[in-house]
Amino acid sequence: MDEKENADNLTKDDYKLAIDVQSACNLSGVVFSFSRVMNKICKEAEKNKHGTDWKNNHPICRLFAEQIYHLTREKDYFEAHNECDNFLKQS
């Protein structure tokens, strides 16, 4: 397996990252890390013919999503939605 193929495969480090990110306090760092590992999850899904549900319910995705929720829960969903909607109406 060449270096490129190996870089596309999920590793123990990716699973460890999902656990380590549970103590993260920097949303941008969490999201950028999630993006990198999500690329690997998508490639694995494609390679093994897994669908959207498999990706959405992957344990790494669940842990990253939970931390993103944890870091953004101060603002209520509907409040955030209304603010975005109001911004769009003003534009």
Per-residue pLDDT of the chain (91 residues; tens, 9 = 90+): 555 556 789 999 999 999 999 999 999 999 999 999 999 999 999 999 999 999 999 999 999 999 999 999 999 999 999 999 999 999 7
Name, in order, each residue with C-beta under 8 angstroms of 37's C-beta and a sequence gap of 6 or more: 10, 14, 17, 18, 60, 64
Domain locations in the chain?
3-90
CA 82 to chain CA centroid, nearest Å: 24
pTM: 0.87
pLDDT at 91: 77
pLDDT at 79: 96
pLDDT at 30: 98
